[in-house]
Amino acid sequence: MQRLLIVLLAAVDAVVAAAIGLALLLAPLTVIWAVAFGQRADWGALWPTTATLWQFGHGVPLTVALPDALVRSTGLDPSAARFVLSVAPLLLLCFTAIFAARSGRRAALAGSWPSGVISGTVVFAAISAGAALTGALGAVQTPLWMAVLFPPLVFLCGALAGAIATAWGEGDGGLVDRVQDALDRHPDWAHTPGDIVRGAAVAVAGVVGAAAVVVAVAALVRGGQVVALFEALRADGLGVVVIGLAQLAYVPTLVAWAVAWIAGPGFSIGAGTAVSPAGTALGVVPGVPALGLVPDSSSPWFLIIVLVPIAAGALAGWLIRSQQVAAGAEAPFGPRAATAAGIAVLAGGAGALLAALSRGSLGPGRLAVAGPDPGPVALALGLEVLVGAGILLLAPRRRGPLDAAWLDDEDALRSDRV
Distance from C-alpha of 277 to C-alpha of 256, rounded to nearest angstrom: 15
Q: How many CA atoms lie within 13 A of 205 on its CB side?
A: 8
Distance from C-alpha of 21 to C-alpha of 15, rounded to nearest angstrom: 10
Contact 228, 296 (CB under 8 A): no
Quick: pLDDT tens for 109-146: 988 899 999 999 999 999 999 999 998 887 788 999 99
SS3 assignment, position 85: strand
DSSP letter (8 states) at residue 174 = S
Contact 227, 373 (CB under 8 A): no
Of the candidate ranges 13-17, 38-42, 365-369, the one whose mean pLDDT is the lowest:
38-42
Of the candidate ranges 20-34, 37-51, 67-81, the one whose mean pLDDT is the lowest:
67-81
Of the candidate ranges 96-105, 190-199, 329-338, the one whose mean pLDDT is the lowest:
329-338
- Greater confidence (308 vs 238) lies with 308
Instruction: Extract the runs of DSSP E, i.e. beta strands, from 241-390.
Output: 268-269, 274-276, 279-281, 370-371
Q: Say if residue 328's pLDDT is above 80.
A: no
Mean pLDDT of the chain: 88
Q: What is the pLDDT of residue 413?
A: 43
Distance from C-alpha of 239 to C-alpha of 53, rounded to nearest angstrom: 17
CA-based end-to-end distance of the chain: 55
Quick: pLDDT tens for 163-183: 999 998 888 777 888 888 888
Band (pLDDT 50/70/90 cuts) for residue 407 is: very low
Contact 191, 134 (CB under 8 A): no
Q: What is the pLDDT of residue 135?
A: 84
Distance from C-alpha of 129 to C-alpha of 145, rounded to nearest angstrom: 9
Long-range CB pairs of 38-47 (<8 Å, 24+ gap) are: 45/137, 47/134, 47/135
Contact 394, 316 (CB under 8 A): no
Question: How much is the pTM?
Answer: 0.91
Q: What is the pLDDT of residue 74?
A: 65
Contact 233, 289 (CB under 8 A): yes
- In 3D space, the residue among 126, 127, 200 whose CA is nearest the CA of residue 378 turns out to be 200
> Rounded to 5 degrees, what angle do the CA atoms 205, 303, 274 make?
90
DSSP letter (8 states) at residue 329 = -
Q: What is the pLDDT of residue 406?
A: 41
SS3 assignment, position 287: coil
Q: What is the pLDDT of residue 400?
A: 53
Band (pLDDT 50/70/90 cuts) for residue 399 is: low
Q: What is the pLDDT of residue 95?
A: 96
Q: How many CA atoms lie within 13 A of 127 on its CB side?
A: 24
Q: What is the pLDDT of residue 173?
A: 77
Angle between helical axes of 374-394 and 192-221 (0-180°, round to 10): 120
Phi, psi torsion values for 280, nearest 5 degrees: -130, 130
Q: Say if residue 412's pLDDT is above 70.
A: no
What percentage of residues in the chain have a pLDDT greater than 70? 93
177's CB contacts (< 8 A; 6+ apart) are 171
Band (pLDDT 50/70/90 cuts) for residue 249 is: very high
Q: What is the pLDDT of residue 238?
A: 80
Q: Say if residue 12's pLDDT is above 60.
A: yes
Q: What is the dihedral of CA 44, 48, 54, 60, to 10 degrees?
A: -170
Contact 30, 51 (CB under 8 A): no
SS3 assignment, position 369: coil
Q: What is the pLDDT of residue 242?
A: 87
